[in-house]
Structure 1
Amino acid sequence: MITKLILSAAAGLLALCIGDFYRLFKAILHPFLSPLRNVPGPKTDGILLGNFKALTDPEPRVMYEEWFDRLFLLDPRAVAHVLRHPGEYPKPEIFRNSLKEMLGDGLLVVEGDAHRRERRIMSPAFGAPQIRELIGIFFDKSLQLRDIWLQETKSEKTLKKPLDTKHSLIEATRWLDKVTLDVIGLAGRFNYSFDALNPAGSLNELNQAVRDMMNSSQPSFLDLLHIIFPVTRIISSTKDRCVKNARRVMERVGRDLLADMKVTVQSSTVGSEGPSRKDVRSRDLLSLLVRANMANDVADGGRLTDEEVLAQIPTFLFAGHETTSAALAWTFYALSCNPTIQEKLRTELRACSEGDRPSMTALNNLAYLDAVVHETIRLYAPVSATVRDVSKDDIIPTGMEWVDKKGVRHSGISVVKGDAIIIPILAINRSKEIWGEDAYEFKPERWSNLPPSASAIPGIWGNSLSFLGGSRACIGYRFSVMEMKAIIYTLVRTFRFSLAADPADIQVRLPGITRPYLRNQIDKGPQLPLWVCPIEDERAAVA
């Protein structure tokens, strides 16, 4: 009996190995059969390595920008075609499996009908009226961060700028991570207090789980083997164990939150027939989904299962606050490198008549703030690229003709099932062909007079691809933009910033979110050291 079990296990393992090698063989052979072999491309490092070294370079901007004018799938019309047909161009299975291990079957992972249904049900939580209700919480946390930084600048423990006791050194990324995590816990999603900004507090278990998940995003060699040869997953990596433990905490706490929310909704319902859709009034995603699920007048297919609701918790906790935090870090980097722009922005913000807590309408009426956010999102896209698979043969239209390796002119690109398409968000956002010769410059003024070519970019917001486009565009882009505006408004009105490092020492690392790192301190994680100086209240000084 034991011998049979051993033989069965060995046979199963052999089948998995054969399957892995077969898939690898197909992947190696595919480029020689695909019509894309005739498309001009960058120089490779050989048949076996291809462009692997360039794709894994820790500094992605160089590679994407050098390839832009040679990979014709980056044509805006071609990109629009791919984004508008998600069924024909889904996310690659290996990436979805990797995301699923970290985040579960949330909105970022599911495809097809499941994605359309989940997005339709959740969309009301991210509309403009809903975000308007959250502005107060955005400012609660922004002002809390402001007060902490004011205390930091007064502290004797904070390193001071030489010959100037007013300037204190603050590592910005750590605090921006905390404030965005607090915001997304309370305002955006789950009515849950992480209390991450409380300097005296200790990490609660969900906070720690999110931190562990963030710190596990850098893959090891074993993690790469797991992607290429799934059979190797029988050997757990450090990342595997970290993610598994974090997911276990998230799922347990999520179930408790879900159970509590159901009790709250039921107890607040008038009558015995349960809530109706008109009773769905909420400021966070979890309670909105629970109320909608419990409504007695929701049609079939209009509800999410408990498992589907729970899957959104790690998705939005991890993906939501990570990208916004990164975008904010690049905003303060850009403002620190451009003091004239910083001062122009500060003048506009300090002239706002609504004081510390402006309304959403007032925030959106601040034209230069809007331009600064647009320019940051364009120039420093938190996600530098996305990948799509080709699920069936197609001809992708292009906006201009191109010439293949044989000298034949084309107005479209033929692709076949199994091809992979990279959409380099950062390269399109920085294309000189689209934005002009100053495309690499941080120039908010460009948003008052955009080049006509920018209108061809199929993005959901701001004539850029940073939030993508089509039916898989970022569902929370309004949330992220308004959160950024509230935090920038609060901090720039209160402090002057300058970079406490040589700009040449700031670099981006892949994979994952494009955050700033110090070139000689990569092992310490993302960093943005700033000299921060409080601005005297001029009205109080006059008084």
Structure 2
Amino acid sequence: MAAMVVFLITLSVLFMIFLVFKLVFDTILCYLLNPRRIRKTMEKQGVRGPKPRGVTGNMHEMFKLTSQSTSKEMGTIHHDLVGRLLPHYVKWSKSYGKRFIYWHGVEPRMCLTDTELIKELMTKHHLVTGKSWLQQQGSKHFTGRGLLMANDRDWYHQRHIAAPAFMGDKLKSYCGHMVESTKQMLQSLQNAVNSGQTEFEIGAYMSRLTADIIARTEFDSSYEKGKQIFYLLTSLQHLCAQASRHLCFPGSRFFPTKYNREMKSLKMEVDRLLMEIIQSRKDCVEIGRSSSYGNDLLGILLNEMEKKRGDQFKLNLQLIMDECKTFFFAGHETTALLLTWTVMLLATNPSWQDKVRAELKEVCNGGVPSVDQLSKLTVLHMVINESLRLYPPATVLPRMAFENIKLGDLFIPKGLSIWIPVLAIHHSEELWGKDVNEFNPDRFNSRPFTSGRHFMPFAAGPRNCIGQSFAMMEAKIILSMLISRFSFTISQSYRHAPVVVMTLKPKHGVQVYLKPLDP
């Protein structure tokens, strides 16, 4: 008996020693050997960059440069944003060329602006590239393992399940929700004008409006709880943005910091609300009160979960909650920012505002546009595209190689992240001409552009944004109804200060003067 106890203790000690050695080896591999291997591989191909410093890589210099460039407003309203928002890109591309490698903590990232190689990456290698561990950890509390952060076959199956919710007749069915929510917002603005208010921070209105719309289309009858989830997710997003700066430090996500405690608390509250909505749907089906889980996005996901009970890929409740959070975040955030920046651009370019209004009068006779009429609003479409070019919600697109790949003349080793600076490509004089930093929607009419290479506000290839048609339909409906009801000019209190907090935002909001138009 004693011999057995000694044997078990010895075995336990050996196992612990093995775990310690494995931890040490994995740490050395992650923080020293793999980065050195990748760096040497890229240097042999002529791709160089700034020297990394310890576990923080080049993050300190990046944050310092960005902090300096965004510390003040831009003074006048202009759209030359690359030096302000991507100062490290400007500095390093001058020093090392268009292709350079830098280090976000221990994660090596290669900057790529070659549009032909970008097209090849997005279209041919979408199943062997995706989101890195560092990216997934940075957003796991508010998107979890949802479609935005899924990779490989998980991404393929999740995309296949969610796609029908954003296509054909199902997409058109959301139009009613969009119109009704917009009418309520416009009435709120009209009431404020009637009470004497003239200046409005339009970004706040757009954020509430798009949250209202996504709450209706995603949760329908559970829409009030959906709005609660929106406010919690907004707070969670800001906390994750702050905490992501420390992810390069081993085990930082387990530190008992204020950010980690608050993120965990908010995530638990969001999950609790989502579980209440989901359980209510399941209970209605189980007791026979309803024959399906509903026709909204949540209902589609729950119905698919039932269908795939025996399949190798299974939707579980946690994954459904993650998908709901993903679509809520992406579905309201990008469209709200698109609308806010577009209003700012039209408020500072009244001639284009008049052109859109004239088109609306001609096509819609001053009324609410139907789904079929939206495709005829070509001037509005050009304006939206130009807004997305100048102010893309996502300023960079990341893709990590999960295996060795060949990309044009480059060998991309496993573990290297490729970062596509969308903002820099959208503001490239070489691609767009000398007026690249001017608001000129005519560029989308007078000459062709290459979507997916020169223009990629919704990414490109099979991994493009699944909700881009939803977002464009929503933006057109809201803008057409707003422009038909009000004229607007930029307020004297507006301070032009674009910043990136995960997405491209106006630091101080967008203040405009609203004036009701005669019926």
**Given the two structures, how large is their TM-score scaled by the length of structure 2?**
0.81
Q: Distance in 2 between matches of 1:241 and 1:487?
A: 38
What's the counterpart of residue 402 of structure 1? none
> Retained in 1: the 8 A contact 2:400–2:418?
yes
Residue 433 (structure 1) aligned with residue 453 (structure 2)? no
> Retained in 1: the 8 A contact 2:122–2:462?
yes
| C-alpha displacement of 1:32 | 3.8
| C-alpha displacement of 1:206 | 2.5
SS of the residue corresponding to residue 438 of structure 1 reads coil
Alpha-carbon displacement from aligned partner over 1:262-294 (angstroms, at most 9, x marks no partner): 344563667xxxx7xxxx972x21112223444
> Retained in 2: the 8 A contact 1:121–1:302?
no
Q: Normalized per residue, which structure has more helix? A: 2
- Kindly provide the amino acid, as one letter, of the partner of residue 213 in structure 1: L
- Kindly provide the amino acid, as one letter, of the partner of residue 75 in structure 1: D
| C-alpha displacement of 1:242 | 2.5
What's the counterpart of residue 191 of structure 2? 151
Q: Distance in 1 between matches of 2:93 and 2:486?
A: 38
| C-alpha displacement of 1:432 | 2.1
- Kindly provide the amino acid, as one letter, of the partner of residue 485 in structure 1: K
Alpha-carbon displacement from aligned partner over 1:444-463 (angstroms, at most 9, x marks no partner): 11222234xx32x426xxx6
What's the counterpart of residue 92 of structure 1? 132
What's the counterpart of residue 159 of structure 2? 119
1:60 pairs with one of 73, 80, 85: 85
What's the counterpart of residue 36 of structure 2? 29
| C-alpha displacement of 1:501 | 4.4
Q: Distance in 2 between matches of 1:509 and 1:27?
A: 33
Alpha-carbon displacement from aligned partner over 1:11-64 (angstroms, at most 9, x marks no partner): 97897577446522236524541224643667x488668754564325325555
Alpha-carbon displacement from aligned partner over 1:52-78 (angstroms, at most 9, x marks no partner): 456432532555567679324311111
Q: Distance in 2 between matches of 1:67 and 1:125?
A: 42
Alpha-carbon displacement from aligned partner over 1:489-542 (angstroms, at most 9, x marks no partner): 111111222222477x41222340101114xxxxxxxx11112222222xxxxx
What's the counterpart of residue 378 of structure 2? 367
What's the counterpart of residue 517 of structure 1? 507
Q: CA RMSD in A?
A: 3.4
User: In terms of mean alpha carbon deviation, does 113-122 or 341-350 score higher?
Assistant: 341-350
Q: Distance in 2 between matches of 1:19 and 1:308?
A: 29
What's the counterpart of residue 507 of structure 1? 497
Q: Distance in 2 between matches of 1:119 and 1:450?
A: 33
Residue 249 (structure 1) aligned with residue 260 (structure 2)? no
| C-alpha displacement of 1:441 | 1.8
Q: Distance in 1 between matches of 2:279 and 2:396?
A: 38
Distance 1:50 1:250, change over 3 A: closer
Q: Distance in 1 between matches of 2:217 and 2:386?
A: 25
| C-alpha displacement of 1:94 | 0.9
- The size of the alignment, in residue pairs, is 476
> Retained in 1: the 8 A contact 2:254–2:260?
no
1:224 pairs with one of 238, 245, 248: 245
| C-alpha displacement of 1:427 | 1.8
What's the counterpart of residue 232 of structure 2? 209
SS of the residue corresponding to residue 130 of structure 2 reads coil
What's the counterpart of residue 201 of structure 1? none
> Retained in 2: the 8 A contact 1:106–1:311?
yes
| C-alpha displacement of 1:429 | 2.1
What's the counterpart of residue 163 of structure 1? none
Q: Distance in 2 between matches of 1:6 and 1:242?
A: 37
2:369 pairs with one of 334, 354, 358: 358
What's the counterpart of residue 534 of structure 1? 516
Alpha-carbon displacement from aligned partner over 1:204-236 (angstroms, at most 9, x marks no partner): 64344223223324315xx533x1123233323
> Retained in 2: the 8 A contact 1:467–1:473?
yes
1:168-179 aligned at under 5 Å gives the runs: 168-179=198-209
- Kindly provide the amino acid, as one letter, of the partner of residue 458 in structure 1: G
What's the counterpart of residue 3 of structure 2? none
Distance 1:78 1:302, change over 3 A: same
Residue 384 (structure 1) aligned with residue 384 (structure 2)? no
Q: Distance in 2 between matches of 1:244 and 1:148?
A: 35
SS of the residue corresponding to residue 154 of structure 2 reads helix
Distance 1:264 1:369, change over 3 A: farther
> Retained in 1: the 8 A contact 2:429–2:436?
yes
Distance 1:47 1:256, change over 3 A: closer
> Retained in 1: the 8 A contact 2:459–2:465?
yes
Alignment gaps of 5+ in structure 2? 1-9, 68-83, 100-111
Q: Distance in 2 between matches of 1:115 and 1:354?
A: 43
SS of the residue corresponding to residue 102 of structure 1 reads coil
> Retained in 2: the 8 A contact 1:292–1:303?
no
1:268-307 aligned at under 5 Å gives the runs: 282=295, 284-294=296-306, 300=311, 304-307=315-318
Distance 1:234 1:281, change over 3 A: closer
- Kindly provide the amino acid, as one letter, of the partner of residue 177 in structure 1: S
Residue 180 (structure 1) aligned with residue 210 (structure 2)? yes
What's the counterpart of residue 81 of structure 1? 120
> Retained in 2: the 8 A contact 1:212–1:242?
no
What's the counterpart of residue 39 of structure 1? 46
Distance 1:6 1:286, change over 3 A: same
What's the counterpart of residue 76 of structure 2? none
Q: Distance in 1 between matches of 2:471 and 2:22?
A: 46
Q: Distance in 2 between matches of 1:502 and 1:450?
A: 36
> Retained in 2: the 8 A contact 1:190–1:287?
no
- Kindly provide the amino acid, as one letter, of the partner of residue 373 in structure 2: A
Residue 470 (structure 1) aligned with residue 467 (structure 2)? no
> Retained in 2: the 8 A contact 1:333–1:528?
yes
Alpha-carbon displacement from aligned partner over 1:148-187 (angstroms, at most 9, x marks no partner): 111222224x4xxxxxxxxx11111211111111100102
- Kindly provide the amino acid, as one letter, of the partner of residue 139 in structure 1: V
User: In terms of mean alpha carbon deviation, does 211-220 or 90-99 score higher?
Assistant: 211-220
SS of the residue corresponding to residue 351 of structure 1 reads helix
Alignment gaps of 5+ in structure 1? 159-167, 197-203, 398-411, 519-526, 538-543
> Retained in 1: the 8 A contact 2:404–2:414?
yes
- Kindly provide the amino acid, as one letter, of the partner of residue 83 in structure 1: M
Percent of paired sites with the same residue: 23
> Retained in 2: the 8 A contact 1:91–1:387?
yes
Q: Distance in 2 between matches of 1:121 and 1:483?
A: 22
User: In terms of mean alpha carbon deviation, does 260-269 or 327-336 score higher?
Assistant: 260-269
Q: Distance in 1 between matches of 2:151 and 2:382?
A: 34
Q: Distance in 1 between matches of 2:44 and 2:58?
A: 14
SS of the residue corresponding to residue 514 of structure 2 reads strand
SS of the residue corresponding to residue 108 of structure 1 reads helix
What's the counterpart of residue 136 of structure 1? 176
- Kindly provide the amino acid, as one letter, of the partner of residue 233 in structure 1: R
Distance 1:189 1:68, change over 3 A: farther
- Kindly provide the amino acid, as one letter, of the partner of residue 170 in structure 1: F
> Retained in 1: the 8 A contact 2:275–2:321?
yes
SS of the residue corresponding to residue 467 of structure 1 reads coil
> Retained in 1: the 8 A contact 2:493–2:511?
no
